[in-house]
């Protein structure tokens, strides 16, 4: 069954995917019934992205699907699984996906970037292909982001996946934004600051005012 929603990926680890995922609740909760899923989480002993989204997104229990692979050690999923004596399989994640509610709009967050290995043969992008959701790319705004973002866009499109847009994180950089939009033929849907401090109120205020102001993502919840 084809689901509604988007898959949030990044150009790197710790780029801001989780905070953007939480911000999407504040931006679109009043327009659609949303639910968040983190299929693969490593370093669970020190980072729990599901708990972070629950808190920053002010999420109700029905808005969180807390099932999936949860592994210790903050390393690549394939390595964390090997060290734990396990193996991550896309087929098993797809089975969980089939058990999840079908009457909601999904915010699915990946682990790391597009080409992160899940096991000896499968990458994160293979999970994206299995779920068949449009891709929202979270990228840094600073030096190097043009190359990293365009490589991510290219990797996604080579697998015949739709790029829904890009969210840039960090100090606004007009030239980097223009380059990503022009060379990547993709829309930048927001420029999210690094919040200090990061609070629900600050994230909500930014999301309601500056995240996807033209409502380009609305079609993916409908």
Give the CATH number for residue 64: 3.40.50.300
The per-residue pLDDT of the chain, averaged, comes to 96
Q: Which of 38, 78, 140, 148 is catalytic?
A: 38
Print the domain residue range for 83. 4-221
pLDDT tens sequence across 93-145: 999 999 999 999 999 999 999 999 999 999 999 999 999 999 999 999 999 99
- Region of residue 58 (phi > 0: left; psi between -120 and 50: alpha; otherwise: beta): left
CA distance readout (Å), 56 to 49, 81, 153, 205: 10, 28, 27, 12
Q: How confident is the model at residue 222 (pLDDT cuts 50, 70, 90)?
A: confident
Catalytic site includes residue 38: yes
Peptide bond into 120 cis (omega under 30): no
Task: Tell me how far apart the alpha carbons of residues 96 and 88 are, in angstroms, rounded to a whole number.
Answer: 13
Specify the pLDDT at position 122.
Answer: 97
Q: In 3-state terms, what secondary structure has residue 161?
A: coil
Backbone angles phi, psi at 69, to 5 degrees: -85, 125
- How many Cβ atoms are within 10 Å of 113's Cβ, its own excluded? 22
Q: How large is the average pLDDT for residues 60-68?
A: 96
Task: Tell me how far apart the alpha carbons of residues 186 and 153 are, in angstroms, rounded to a whole number.
Answer: 9
Count of domains for the chain = 1
Specify the pLDDT at position 1.
Answer: 60
């Amino acid at each position: 069954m084809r689901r509604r929603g988007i898959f949030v990926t990044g150009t790197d680890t710790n780029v801001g995917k989780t905070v953007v995922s939480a911000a999407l609740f504040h931006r679109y909760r009043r327009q659609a019934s949303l639910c968040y899923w983190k299929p693969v989480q490593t370093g669970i002993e020190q980072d729990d992205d599901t708990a972070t989204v629950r808190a920053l997104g002010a999420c109700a229990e029905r808005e969180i699907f807390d099932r999936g692979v949860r592994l210790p050690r903050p390393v690549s999923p394939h390595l964390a699984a090997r060290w734990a004596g396990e193996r991550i399989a896309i087929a098993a994640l797809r089975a969980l996906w089939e058990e999840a509610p079908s009457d909601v709009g999904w915010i699915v967050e990946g682990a790391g970037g597009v080409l992160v290995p899940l096991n000896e043969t499968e990458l994160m992008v293979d999970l994206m292909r299995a779920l068949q959701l449009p891709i929202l790319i979270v990228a840094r705004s600073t030096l190097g982001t043009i190359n990293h973002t365009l490589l991510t866009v290219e990797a996604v499109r080579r697998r015949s996946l739709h790029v829904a847009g890009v969210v840039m994180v960090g100090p606004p950089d007009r030239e980097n934004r223009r380059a990503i939009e022009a060379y990547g033929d993709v829309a930048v849907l927001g420029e999210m600051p690094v919040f200090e401090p990061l609070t629900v109120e600050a994230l909500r205020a930014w999301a309601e005012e500056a995240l996807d102001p033209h409502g380009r993502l609305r079609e993916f919840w409908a």
